[in-house]
Amino acid sequence: MSKTKSNKKEDKKKVIRDFQINEGDTGSAEVQIGLLTKEIKDLTEHLKIHIHDHSSRRGLLKKVSVRRKFLKYLQADNLQGYEKIIKKIKK
């Protein structure tokens, strides 16, 4: 059930396109939150199958923590952007 390298790249490009603020934006908080959300969803699916994979679980917790910090920053810096990104994530 592993994705090929090209599929992962295409998925990443799609997430960047969905969350970018303007053309060429790849490093904004919004894009980083989108990428982390995608990785968190993928790791969650992996852990449903591989219950005892503790190293992946630790990686998941780290990603959740980083995303939480980005969201906290965005909430303080740009409340409208924060609300917009929360709606996108909840989909």
Examine residue 76 and state whether it is found in any structural domain, yes or no: yes
Query: Whose CA is closest to 71, among 85, 61, 91, 90?
Result: 85
| Spatial separation of the C-alpha atoms in residues 82 and 91, rounded to whole Å | 15
- At 62-86, the pLDDT tens digits run 999 999 999 999 999 999 999 999 9
57, part of any domain: yes
Query: Could you tell me the two tokens for 13?
Result: 């490009």
Query: What total number of domains does the chain contain?
Result: 1
pTM (two decimals): 0.89
Write the CATH number for 50. Answer: 1.10.287.10
- pLDDT (average), residues 15-32: 92
Nearest to 38 by CA among 57, 58, 19: 19
Residue 87 lies inside a defined structural domain of this protein: yes
Residue 23 included in any domain:
no
User: Considering the domain boundaries, does residue 79 fall inside one?
Assistant: yes
Residue 40 belongs to a domain: yes
Does residue 9 fall inside a structural domain? no
